[in-house]
Chain A
């Protein structure tokens, strides 16, 4: 199976296809959805075309010791598109390579340069960016090898991915002060709604990841969450929050306070409802 095709398997282990060491052609597209806070390109234009200047530089500069370039998407991150550039362990400074990528690529694609022996770093979830928790799964299972060796299976995952939701809930310390209080006290209710809505989608994606589901997108995460977590209280909460969010967005300036408070109340109830599912 080509790494570019989607698998319909209900369970996938490791990389989709080739064994490490095989070469993959440049081409085809990465499915991606734009982040609500991003102006990054999604699947159009073709990411491999977009990254072509970087690939050309790699081909012309073997001294950079690049072994592989894998493009993938992180639907809950900003930017949505990412590229993992794997260098040999003897490679020195990755900066000339990043500079060669140029500002246009760097602004729109999260280019990560790691030596092969440093790939273990990707297994650890970044507590400050729960949207990236599923990154190893996206690389392993849906990464597109743009150049060089297929090293997707060399990207490890946590052996026991427990406590993802618990740690994400701990990190809501930052949502409560930075997203809620920060915007309520300045009466930026629509901004608060957008940020809290984003946090809700992240929490749902983490809850799904804890159940082993990694391929999740912002526009369908709520439906997916409600299907997997068959919880009437949370389902009603999500439905009401979605309706309320639309009203907050269209409220005249200075008129949104009561709705904003209700939205925060629903968020707190949502957090409380999720707590019982955290391991």
Chain B
């Protein structure tokens, strides 16, 4: 969500401070609060970047007492209300339990949460070395990348086939923004290379030189333009370009995996022969 309101970087820092203050009475049950994303990297786009990429890791004791859990939930809900009232684009922070074995997160979040240059401990202990992922072989994040490719195909076709194209300018631009926000970063991950969102285009350009990075940057730049500022036909032309880029990116990532020697390993992981899968007949 973008508000486009007059804000600056200090507003973001101010609300991060307020968030920490709101959560401070929970220090007995909060093991750690980790901030990540654009506020840490200093790449905030005031009025466009979201509050709040943060992870609240709770003591397992929280799940042993319903009353303690409700107290924690109350504070987190209050923190969300305060942040959403800021007028800045907002999505709630994450929370989870810090188990004895640590905290496991989706692969796309791992390095953003754990690398010192990409994250910051706002409160509690520095437990970043205990954050891991179950997707260490990247099967699931690659599945996400390839599914994004298929979904983009279909959505682009749906937008292109829609009867009232001119009125769809905003929808088309939103679709392009969503694509550029996620797909280049997923492409990097599929190539086994983490890149922060702001660096994803340059990283994928390094990994896959055949990709037209200049065109990706054009998509990146249009994020701040409202649909009505485009000339008639321009959003559709851009959408066609996104669609072509979407296909090239999928092919480039596969080629990259082949060049990196991962292809044979991947082929060993999939089975074409019958696999033992039970088929329950219960309905």
Spell out A's residues near B (CB within 8 Å): 6-14, 93-95, 98-99, 101-103, 106-107, 110-114, 118, 120-129, 132, 137, 141, 153-154, 156-161, 163, 166-167, 169-174, 176-178, 181-182, 184-186, 208, 211-217, 220, 223-224, 227-228, 261-262, 264-265, 268-269, 272, 275, 278
Contacts and interface: CB of A to CB of B under 8 A. Distances in A.
Nearest to B53: A177
Contacts of A265: 66, 69-70
23 contacts: A14-B274, A95-B153, A99-B160, A103-B161, A107-B158, A113-B150, A114-B150, A122-B146, A158-B271, A159-B269, A166-B104, A167-B134, A173-B105, A173-B109, A176-B94, A177-B91, A214-B277, A215-B279, A227-B282, A228-B280, A262-B66, A269-B63, A275-B99
Nearest to A141: B279
Main secondary structure on chain B at its contact with chain A?
helix
A104 to B, nearest CB: 9
Contact of A120 (B105, B266, B278, B283): B266
Contacts of A110: 154
A159 B268 contact: yes
B160 A126 contact: no
Contact of A10 (B141, B247, B279): B279
B271 A156 contact: yes
A212 B276 contact: yes
A196 to B, nearest CB: 13
Contacts of A182: 80, 91-92
B63 A268 contact: yes
Given A8-B281, A185-B80, A177 B142 contact: no
Contact of B144 (A128, A220, A261): A128
Interface in B131-157: 133-135, 139-144, 146-147, 149-150, 153-154, 156-157
Interface string B240-283: 00010001001000100000000000111111111111111111
Given A103-B161, A123-B270, A158 B278 contact: no
A201 to B, nearest CB: 15
Contacts of A215: 279-281
B106 interface: yes
B96 interface: yes
B93 interface: yes
Given A181-B95, A215-B280, A268 B271 contact: no
A136 to B, nearest CB: 9
Contacts of B73: 184, 261, 264
Given A95-B157, A176-B94, A264-B73, A185 B279 contact: no
Please provide the 9 A-B residue pairs with the shortest distance between their CB atoms, ordered closest to farther: A13-B274, A124-B143, A14-B274, A127-B140, A98-B157, A185-B80, A181-B92, A126-B147, A121-B146
B272 A154 contact: yes
B134 A156 contact: no
Of A110, A120, A185, most B-chain CB atoms within 10 Å: A185
B275 A125 contact: no
B198 to A, nearest CB: 21
Nearest to B149: A121
Nearest to A134: B277
B268 A173 contact: no
A14 B147 CA distance: 22
B283 A220 contact: yes
Contacts of A132: 147
B134 A170 contact: yes
B279 A95 contact: no
Contact of B70 (A95, A212, A261): A261
Contacts of B135: 127, 163, 167, 170
A103 B161 CA distance: 6
Contacts of B105: 170, 173
Contact of A159 (B157, B158, B270): B270
B81 A99 contact: no
